[in-house]
Structure 1
Amino acid sequence: MDNGRLFKFSAFKLPNSATVRAVGVYLSGALYAIGFWVMVDAAIYSKSVNASVVHVTFIDWIPAICSSFGMLIVNSIEKSRLLSSEGGFGSSSTTWQARLVLFLGFSLLAIGISGSFLVLILKFLVKNFTSFPTVGMGVSNVVSNACIMLSCITLWIVQNLEDDYSYSLAL
């Protein structure tokens, strides 16, 4: 058993292939597009067809904005920056900076998904707007943020696949 491992059992490994990576990137993009379109669809429905007094406002967009910023931050960090040869408190400042920024990115993702549930509960369920076309706008907010979070997770996994034949070009 390897002493450098954290868990007793080895983690699930995806096959190292450029095809798997490309499919994962496209899947991530599709999930993000679905999440964004669900939110746009709710806003269009709210403005044009909705007969109730509840409409999609800027408050409904804030969780999606937080999730999008979180996705941008999380997927802009290289995995090699998170790992250092030295463990514990002796790690370089770049490693700690990368870990702090990664934590902030995941915090923004958590704020986004929890904020969408908060908007659903406070704006729709507490005020007894329980008929489906109206509460559907709140559900679409949750679905939108869930798709953005799944997109972030998918992209993080496929970006960090180890490829035997990848080359790093630097100037």
Structure 2
Amino acid sequence: MSTERLFRFPKPQWLNSTNTRTGGIYLAGALFAVALFTFIDAATFSKTKNGSDIHINFVDWIPGIFSFLGMIVINSIDKTRLSADSFSYSGDNVQWKARVVLFMGFAAMAGGLAGSVTVLVLKYIVAEAEGPTLWLGVANVAANALIMLSSAILWISQNMEDDYTYNVAL
């Protein structure tokens, strides 16, 4: 066994195939679609059939907006920019800049998830909402958690290294 390896067991070879990458990208898209459907379904229910005084308004949308912006920021960063400063296109320390932007993206997504939990507690649980009205807050938390999971799966899938995949950049 090589002494330079970090883990005892090798990484499975099927984990680095193009089919795994494609499947991960499709899974991330499906999770994002389920997240979007969950929140829009709750918002539609809130406006049409909710008999309570508590409805979804702009405050409920803010955490989802932050999670979505965090997802865009995270998936805009290439994994190779995080590990090496082999070339720089905007000054020095591209590695440091990429890590800061990646942290800001994860912070936006974590803030979105924390914001949705805060809205759930303050708007729905403290007001003692029950039944379908409580679902409006739970759907907000579920949608933000699914966006966060979708973003993580998409970033990992897009940045898998494969010996037989060629990336052509102009």
Aligned-residue offset at 1:9: 4.8
Equivalent residue number for residue 58 of structure 1: 58
CA change 1:113–1:159 in 2 (3 A) is: same
Q: How many residues align?
A: 162
1:166 CA displacement? 1.6
Structure-2 separation of matches of 1:141 and 1:9:
41
Root mean square deviation of aligned Cα: 1.8
**2: CA distance, partners of 1:169 / 1:40:** 38
Unmatched 5+ stretches in structure 1: 87-91
Shift of 1:151: 0.3
Matched to 1:54, the amino acid is I
Counterpart for residue 135 of structure 1: 134
Could you tell me how far apart the structure 2 residues matched to 1:59 and 1:9 are? 48
- Residues 17 and 60 of structure 1: CA distance in aligned 2, closer, same or farther (over 3 Å): same
- Range with bigger deviation, 44-53 or 159-168: 159-168
Amino acid at match of 1:28: A
Q: Which amino acid aligns with 1:160?
A: N
Q: Give distance in 2, aligned partners of 1:148 and 1:8.
A: 30
**Identical counterparts, % of pairs:** 46
Give the TM-score taking structure 1 as reference length.
0.88
Opposite residue 163 of structure 2, the aligned amino acid is: D
Residue in 1 that maps onto 2:146: 147
SS of equivalent to 2:25: helix
Change in 2 beyond 3 A, CA 1:169/1:103: same
CA deviations on 1:38-88 (whole Å, 9 max, x unpaired) are 1100110000000000000010011111001101111110000000269xx
Note the 1:47-126 alignment, pairs <5 A. 47-84=47-84, 92-126=92-126
Q: Aligned-pair distance for 1:169?
A: 1.4
SS of the residue corresponding to residue 162 of structure 2 reads coil
Q: TM-score, normalised by structure 2?
A: 0.89
Report what 1:41 is aligned to. Answer: 41
Structure 2 gaps, min length 5: 87-91
Superposed structure 1 runs of 4+ greater than 4 Å apart: 7-14
2:31 is matched with: 31
